[in-house]
Amino acid sequence: MTASGRDGIGHDTRHTCRTEAETRVDGRRVPGEWALDQGPAVLLPDALSRGRTAGLAGAIAPVPVLGGSMVCADELPDGLVIADHAGRVLVFNRAASRLTGIPARAAIGADVRQILALHDTDGRCCWAWADPYRGLSIRSRHAERSLYLADGTELLVTLSYVRAPRGNGLDPALPRDPGHSRGGQVQRLVIMLRGAEQRARLERTRADLVSTVAHELRSPLTSVKGFTATLLAKWERFTDDQKRVMLETVNADADRVTRLITELLDVSRIESGRMEIHRQLVSVPERVEKIVAGRVAAGDPPGRYRVVIADRLPETWLDADKVDQIVGNLIENAVRHGAGTVTVMVEPLETAGARAFRPGCEGIAVSVRDEGDGIAPELVPRIFRQFWRAKRRSGAGLGLYIVKGLVEAHGGTITVQRAPEGGAEFRFTMPAGVAAG
């Protein structure tokens, strides 16, 4: 390469991308995976400029990014296809080849309408109804929609138009063709391709949500309906004790429905980033002792719980209701799925060993331990996912997901590991000294 930045045959190699076979950035060669093209490298601004599109077949152009730097089209995560005013493919990147199964060498220079024979769910050719080159000249893009290749592969496709400026009369940079001499005519057609796997996963998640909610609501509502109908029809036949039992069951099932609805609302807020934290000065040890006392008052044996509070705890500004929800859920989880004594420890974050990896951090660490069988290491990455349940019949599987979301909304972290007594230990941290606001 000469000092001017041109190779031996006179092609500019500065900020260029050749093909999948070779990438050149500032004259430095970065090898690709395999050779699809041996033509000269092309600068994207040159490749897409008016009047130069006709001679670019066989080259894959780079794409401009912020700051004037250049990256290869092959580095884009989505498929990129660019066609000129005549429908000839100028750019066909690696992701497009992967999604369609069409080699870039076969696509470059071919008619985009033949290479991408896309059709909708009704079997209609997308090029017939989109009519990109002869349709309305005011269109700028087609919104993303599902289209299918000839082999049935589903793709999410977005079409965008690059049009000639309006009001300038003839464009000397374009071929002297009556069909392409007026303002508003299509100069380039840009097609973005995405795989449909992610959307399919989201649809499965929504289906799981509907199925789980329907199952969890059906059981308590059936109970409420049955006991209520029985009491209304045969009120005089039951004793006061029997009526009380039935009404207590109805009340408990109503609480279960309310709890599920609250969990669903929390999931929605966490996923949308709308979880509101109302900070106030909170004594976490007092909240822990209150929750344990409530469970004992509800009938749990006092010896089932042990609360350990360290000295010199820092001042914490947290959402009291959210703290109750976090601690209560973790204790409930330990009681339901663990065994033996449930130990709750509250200690300064520095004492808990956080200074080693978070210098200058102040806060508290709360650990909830049980003495059960613990959690298998291969299950740990799935603990905090939606709908994960240790047993088939153990709630909606949203509790720990919500706990993680609430802890992170406070700026804390939560982990799970093996407890010293052999069971599971859930440990979450909360920052300290954050004023309400």
More confident: 361 or 223: 223
CB burial of residue 206 (10 Å; 0-12, 13-18, 19+): exposed
At 42 the pLDDT is 37
Span of 235-244, 257-266, 307-316 with lowest mean pLDDT: 257-266
Q: Cα angle at 237 between 235 and 238, to 5 degrees?
A: 75
pLDDT tops 80 at residue 1: no
- Residue 342's pLDDT is what? 93
| Per-residue model confidence (pLDDT) at position 390 | 64
With cut-offs at 50, 70 and 90, classify the pLDDT of residue 132.
confident
Strongest mean pLDDT among 21-25, 144-148, 353-357? 144-148
Is pLDDT above 80 for 199? no
C-alpha–C-alpha distance, residues 117 and 101, integer Å: 13
**What is the predicted pLDDT for the residue at 167?**
60
Q: How confident is the model at residue 256 (pLDDT cuts 50, 70, 90)?
A: confident
pLDDT in tens, 401-434: 889 999 999 999 999 998 887 889 999 999 886 5
pLDDT band at 24 (very low <50, low <70, confident <90, very high): very low
Strands (DSSP E) found in 70-176: 70-72, 79-83, 89-92, 141-148, 154-163
Residue 268 confidence (pLDDT): 83
Handedness of CA 415, 416, 417, 423 (dihedral sign): positive
The average pLDDT across 106-120 equals 89
Q: Quick one: pLDDT at residue 75?
A: 80
pLDDT band at 308 (very low <50, low <70, confident <90, very high): very high
H or E segment and range at residue 427: strand 424-431
Structure-derived torsion over alpha carbons of residues 387, 393, 395, 401, reported in degrees to the nearest 10: -30
Average pLDDT, the chain: 76
The average pLDDT across 214-239 equals 88
Portion of the chain with pLDDT greater than 90, in percent: 25
Query: Do 315 and 436 contact (CB within 8 A), yes or no?
Result: no
Higher pLDDT: 115 or 368? It is 368
pLDDT digits (tens, 9 = 90+) for 158-179: 898 888 887 654 444 544 444 4
232's enclosing H/E stretch is helix 197-233
Q: Band of the pLDDT at 152, cuts 50, 70, 90?
A: confident
**46-102 confidence digits (pLDDT tens):** 444 444 444 443 444 443 333 333 357 778 888 999 999 889 999 999 889 888 989
> Could you tell me the pLDDT band of residue 210, with boundaries at 50, 70 and 90?
confident
CB environment 70-103: b (16+ within 10 A), e (fewer): bbbbbeeeebbbbbbbebbbbbbbbbbbebbebe
Please report, for residues 24, 231, 248, 278, 280, the alpha-carbon distance to residue 238 in angstroms, rounded to integers and kept in the order given. 87, 8, 15, 47, 49
Q: 355 pLDDT exceeds 70?
A: no
**Overall pTM > 0.85:** no
| 189 vs 420 pLDDT, higher one | 189
Mean pLDDT of 279-304: 91
pLDDT of 339: 85
Distance, CA of 389 to CA of 339 (rounded, Å)? 17
Domains of the chain: 16-195 (3.30.450.20), 200-272 (1.10.287.130), 280-431 (3.30.565.10)
Q: What angle do CA 101, 107, 112 make, to 5 degrees?
A: 105
Q: Does residue 178 or residue 383 have the better pLDDT?
A: 383
Q: In what order do the strands lie in the sheet with 89-92?
A: 89-92, 79-83, 186-195, 154-163, 141-148
Per mean pLDDT, which of 66-70, 309-313, 433-437 is the most reliable?
309-313
| pLDDT at residue 391 in the model | 60
Q: Evaluate whether 174 touches 187 at the Cβ level (below 8 Å).
A: yes
C-alpha 165 chain-centroid distance: 39
